[in-house]
Amino acid sequence: MHLIKRNKSAAVVLTEQHYRQLQQQAARAPMPAVTPLRWLLELPPAKSPRSKAAIDAELLSERDW
């Protein structure tokens, strides 16, 4: 069952049996060669880094509704 909030999908309700099936599938799934955290840490630095003030200004303009 899907729960809707403000016309957007907010959650999915599973039966206990389906949840257990998903847990078993996840346990059998192969581990990725590189974890997401390792991938992020290995990204090269930006060629033109932005200042905190520039990032804050961009975020403020995006969120100014």
Q: How many domains does the chain have?
A: 1
In a domain, 41, yes or no: no
What's the pLDDT score for residue 62?
92
Q: Does residue 49 form part of some domain?
A: no
The pTM score is: 0.41
SS3 string, the chain, reads CEEEECCEEEEECCCHHHHHHHHHHHHHCCCCCCCHHHHHHHCCCCCCCCCHHHHHHHHHHHHCC
pLDDT at 19: 95
Domain extent for 17: 1-30
- Residue 18 forms part of a structural domain: yes
In a domain, 23, yes or no: yes
- Residue 4 domain-assigned (yes or no): yes
List the chain pLDDT tens, one digit each, 65 residues. Answer: 889 998 988 999 999 999 999 999 999 988 888 999 999 999 998 888 899 999 999 999 999 77
